[in-house]
Chains A and B, each alone.
Chain A
Amino acid sequence: MDERSEAPARRRIALVVNGNPVEAEIEPRELLLDFLRHRLGLMGAKRSCDVQVCGSCTVLLDGEPVSACCTLAYEARDRQVLTIEGLADAGRLHVLQEAFIEHAAVQCGFCTSGMILTSLELLREVPAPVPEQVRSHLKGNLCRCTGYRRIIDAVVDAGRRLAAEGASS
Chain B
Amino acid sequence: MLRPFEIHEPATVTAASRLLAYYGDEAAVYAGGTELLPVMKEGLAHYPHLVNIKTIAGLESIAFHQGILRIGALATHRQIERSPVVRERLPLLGQVACGVANLRVRIAGTLGGNLCFAEPHSDPAAVLVASGATLVLARDAEERRVSAEAFFTGILQTVRLPDEILTGVEVPDPGPGVGAAYHRFALHERPIAGVAAVLAVHEGIITRACLVVGSVGPIPARIAEAEAGLIGQAPAGSVLSAAAEAAGRHADVLEDLYGSVDYKRHIVAVMARRALKEAAARGHVEAT
- A positions within 8 Å CB-CB of B: 4, 6-9, 27-29, 31, 50-53, 55, 58, 64-67, 70-72, 74-75, 118, 137, 139-141
Contact = CB atoms under 8 A, between A and B. Distances in A.
A71 B33 contact: yes
B2 A8 contact: no
A52 B38 CA distance: 8
B3 A139 contact: no
Contacts of A52: 34, 38, 101-102, 104-105
Contacts of B105: 52, 67, 140
A56 to B, nearest CB: 11
Nearest to B4: A8
Given A52-B38, A70-B34, A140-B102, A29 B107 contact: no
Contacts of A58: 104
Given A72-B37, A139-B103, A66 B108 contact: yes
A8 B6 contact: yes
B41 interface: yes
A53 B102 contact: yes
B143 interface: no
A28 B38 CA distance: 15
A116 to B, nearest CB: 14
Interface of B: 1-7, 23, 26, 33-34, 37-38, 41-42, 48, 50, 78, 101-105, 107-108, 189
Contacts of B23: 4
Contacts of B3: 29
Nearest to B40: A29
Given A27-B4, A29-B2, A139 B38 contact: no
24 contacts: A4-B23, A4-B48, A8-B6, A8-B7, A9-B6, A29-B2, A29-B3, A29-B4, A31-B2, A51-B38, A51-B41, A52-B104, A65-B107, A66-B108, A71-B33, A71-B37, A118-B103, A137-B103, A139-B103, A140-B102, A140-B103, A140-B104, A140-B105, A141-B102
Contact of A4 (B26, B101, B107, B108): B26
A7 B107 contact: no
Contacts of A53: 102, 189
Given A4-B26, A70-B41, A140 B107 contact: no
Given A8-B6, A67-B105, A140-B104, 19 more contacts: A4-B26, A8-B4, A8-B5, A8-B48, A28-B5, A29-B1, A29-B3, A31-B2, A52-B104, A53-B189, A64-B78, A65-B103, A65-B104, A70-B38, A71-B33, A71-B108, A137-B103, A139-B103, A140-B101
B7 to A, nearest CB: 4
Nearest to B102: A140
B172 to A, nearest CB: 32
A28 B7 contact: yes
B208 to A, nearest CB: 34
A67 B102 CA distance: 10
A34 B38 CA distance: 15
A168 to B, nearest CB: 30
A44 B121 CA distance: 33
A26 B257 CA distance: 39
A50 B43 CA distance: 13
A28 B189 contact: no
Q: Which 3 A-B pairs have the closest CB atoms?
A: A140-B102, A29-B2, A8-B6
Contacts of B102: 52-53, 55, 139-141
- Most B Cβ at <10 Å: residue of A27, A55, A70: A70
Contacts of A51: 38, 41-42
Contact of B7 (A7, A50, A71, A74): A74
Nearest to A31: B2
A36 to B, nearest CB: 15
A118 B104 CA distance: 9
A30 to B, nearest CB: 8
- Most B Cβ at <10 Å: residue of A52, A65, A72: A52
Contacts of B189: 53, 140
Nearest to A74: B7
A166 to B, nearest CB: 23
